[in-house]
Amino acid sequence: MSARRLVRLALPSKGRLAEPSTRLLHDAGIVFEPNGRTLHTHCQDLDLELLFARSDDIPVWTADGGVDIGITGSNQVIEAGVEVDTLAELGFGRCRLALAVPQDSAVTTAAELAGSRIATAYARTVEGALGRRGLTATLVPISGSVELAPRLHAADAIADLVSTGETLRQNGLREIETLLESQAVLIARRDLRDDQRELVEEIRLVVGSVLAARPKRYLMLNARDEQLDDVLALLPGLDAPTVLPLARSLGRRLRPHPQMRLRPTSPTRPCGGSTSRRRQPGGRPLLAPAPGSRQAAPARCRRLGRSKDSRCAVTSGRCCARAASQSSTPGVPGASLETRPCRDRVRCRGS
């Protein structure tokens, strides 16, 4: 048996948390390759062993010390009834524990179910949620097909995890109240050694950085010196954009260029709505690399024969986007990004 790595991390082996968990770690630079049917593997660059397990087992293993950190649902931590530290909320796998009754039921609130029979696969969680409301009920434990319980007269209501509630509606049920909101979380056992805690904190930091960057878009645009303040006033983002002076080549000498390059980081959604406003003060061209792409740089395609104002964003070693033509606003130069895959995988060089 091989020696134990410094830290063991448990990931969901299947279900709706499995793929997003793996993608999150890869985006954070924690690289590993699943080994077929083997339920464990090693990280390539960290002293880290990864185990693949049922997500509802991960809180128990973490609390017992079998693993040091793990990704699971926050509802599964509550249902397990164990003591672990929650290091971060991960933003995916969102769902809610909903209380539902048949469509023809006169019940409209949870308080009206006091003393009733409630079928659920999450008895501990439901009991705690009702207790916080000062309610008691008879819980009917069911491991699957909970929606059938009212039809079989085994219960008056059910409590089950839902994302959209469509399954409840298709089975003739009506949601009346949410008992708990849940999402994926990064958890850790509480008695980590100092050397383990150092690596765990590093993992928490890089994962948090990826989560913070996902809703952002990295922009690049040029603006004339005299219009710089107007452009800056329109740019949302972090503390401040990076502003770099441009230079124009004259043989072997460089002279100042009357434009500046701006590199702000902006929220993804507002980018689309404010692109036209950013062009009006004089920003051109405007490049918006797609999320997850490598650093995008202005480039000019060799083979396409475009005008000097047609530029490409280079991502992952190939041309994948081009800037549109100048703005139609009289006297105001500007360009927007038209993102599309290059069919002929044009090779690009820096402009």
The phi, psi pair for 168, rounded to 5°, reads -60, -45
337, 324 contact by CB (below 8 A): yes
Indicate where the chain has its CATH 3.30.70.120 domain(s): 216-350
- The C-alpha atoms of residue 26 and residue 33 are separated, in whole angstroms, by 10
Amino acid 256: pLDDT: 52
What is the percent of the chain where pLDDT is above 70?
Answer: 67
Amino acid 253: pLDDT: 54
Among 50, 63, 6, 4, which Cα is nearest to 195's?
A: 6
55, 12 contact by CB (below 8 A): yes
What is the CATH class of 216-350? alpha beta
Amino acid 37: pLDDT: 72
186, 136 contact by CB (below 8 A): no
Q: Is 94 helix (H, G, I), strand (E, B) or coil?
A: coil
- What single-letter DSSP state applies at residue 118? E
The pLDDT tens digits for 46-69 are 889 999 999 999 999 999 999 999
What is the percent of the chain where pLDDT is above 90?
Answer: 50
Q: Mean pLDDT, to the nearest integer, of 346-350?
A: 33
pLDDT band at residue 184 using 50, 70 and 90 as cut-offs: very high
Q: Higher confidence at residue 20 or residue 274?
A: 20
Q: Could you tell me the pTM of the whole model?
A: 0.69
Q: Higher confidence at residue 36 or residue 223?
A: 223
Q: Higher confidence at residue 171 or residue 231?
A: 171
Position 335 pLDDT exceeds 60: no
What is the dihedral sign for C-alpha 203, 205, 206, 212? positive
Position 3 pLDDT exceeds 90: no
pLDDT band at residue 194 using 50, 70 and 90 as cut-offs: very high
- Among the ranges given (2-16, 149-163, 189-203, 316-330), the one the predictor scored with the smallest mean pLDDT: 316-330
Beta-carbon neighbour count of residue 24 at 10 Å? 21
The amino acid occupying position 189 is R
Q: Mean pLDDT, to the nearest integer, of 15-32?
A: 91
Position 214 pLDDT exceeds 90: no
Position 143 pLDDT exceeds 70: yes
Among 207, 13, 179, 177, which Cα is nearest to 91's?
A: 207
Mean pLDDT for all residues in the chain: 75
Amino acid 262: pLDDT: 57
Q: Higher confidence at residue 310 or residue 170?
A: 170
Q: Higher confidence at residue 154 or residue 297?
A: 154
Q: Could you say which architecture CATH assigns to the domain 7-92+184-213? A: 3-Layer(aba) Sandwich (3.40)
For every residue of 233-273, which 3-state class applies, written as one string? HHCCCCCCCEEEEEEEEECCEEEEEEEEEEECEEEHHHHHH
Indicate where the chain has its CATH 3.40.190.10 domain(s): 7-92+184-213, 95-182
What is the CATH class of 95-182? alpha beta
Among 294, 272, 291, which Cα is nearest to 212's?
A: 291
Cα radius of gyration (the chain): 27
Amino acid 197: pLDDT: 93
pLDDT band at residue 217 using 50, 70 and 90 as cut-offs: confident
- Helix axis angle, 18-27 relative to 194-213, nearest 10°? 100
Within the chain, residue ranges assigned H as helices are 18-27, 58-64, 74-80, 123-132, 166-170, 194-213, 228-234, 268-279
Q: Higher confidence at residue 81 or residue 300?
A: 81
Between the two ends of the chain, the Cα-to-Cα distance in Å is 55
Amino acid 304: pLDDT: 34
- The C-alpha atoms of residue 64 and residue 211 are separated, in whole angstroms, by 28
The amino acid occupying position 208 is G
Q: Mean pLDDT, to the nearest integer, of 152-162?
A: 95
Position 351 pLDDT exceeds 70: no
Amino acid 169: pLDDT: 94
